[in-house]
Structure 1
Amino acid sequence: MTEQDHQKATRVLSELRQRIDGIDAELIALLAKRQRCVEQVIEVKRSVQLPARIPARIDEVLAHIRELAEDGNVEPDLAIAIWREMIEQFIAYEERRL
């Protein structure tokens, strides 16, 4: 690899990393938006005494995510793993608030 190739690769990596940082900021904004919805869910669940964990809903969400991932050309197992963790974190949050 020449010095010129190395410099070009370094520039491309820097640009790609900036794009990734921007995407990360968008993802955080979406998580904040999702959390605001969860806050409303908590209020409804509290009013009718529903538990934080509703297994049928979890299954429904994960099936939907798998479909979205497949349609969006995203590795479904990766999407499911991310959503499982997110769901568990939000359930824990709901349980603390309920």
Structure 2
Amino acid sequence: MNDITTTDAARAQLAEYRASIDNIDAALVHMLAERFRCTQAVGVLKAKHDLPPADPAREQQQIARLRQLAHDANLDPDFAEKFLNFIIREVIRHHEAIASGAETRA
């Protein structure tokens, strides 16, 4: 009987963890959507004023900042940098599409 109780307790704890993970995933999606709404506005502003889609100096500052935030949060800074680089590439792709007149959506 003890094994069943232990297994049931483990399943209940697993369900709690998974519910938290699901909530976090939902929050991440909403935060990314808001971030891309903002970067779309940046892309429109850049296109309107003939500014380049990419800003390597800003990107490097953001990477350094995010790596430090990750370190402080006990998250692997390499993972955080890869994640940000993925987002940056997508933002630049959107900005290039906006500048060429081919609006894109996040």
Compute the TM-score of the two structures, normalised by the length of structure 1: 0.90
| AA of the residue aligned to 1:69 | A
Q: CA offset at residue 89 of structure 1?
A: 1.3
Aligned residue-pair number: 98
Distance 1:61 1:49 in 2: 23
C-alpha distance in 2 between matches for 1:77 and 1:58: 15
Write the deviation string for residues 37-68 of structure 1: whole angstroms up to 9, x where unpaired. Answer: 11211122012211212211111110110111
Q: 2 CA distance for matches of 1:35 and 1:9? A: 39
**Partner amino acid for 1:14?**
A
Q: Which amino acid aligns with 1:79?
A: A
Runs of at least 4 residues of structure 1 off by over 3 A?
Answer: none
Counterparts of 1:4-83 in structure 2, within 5 Å, are 4-83=5-84
Q: Which amino acid aligns with 2:75?
A: V
- CA separation in 1, counterparts of 2:72 and 2:30? 23
Alignment of 1:74-93 (within 5 A): 74-93=75-94
Distance 1:81 1:5 in 2: 39
Counterpart Cα distance in 2 of 1:31 and 1:21: 15
Provide the rounded CA distance (Å) in 2 between the counterparts of 1:59 and 1:43: 22
Identity %: 35
Name structure 2 gaps, 5 residues minimum: 100-106
Computing the radius of gyration from Cα coordinates, the structure with the larger value is: 2
Quote the offset at 1:3 in angstroms.
2.2
What does residue 103 of structure 2 align with? none
Q: Name 1:96's counterpart in structure 2.
A: 97
TM-score (ref. length: structure 2)? 0.84
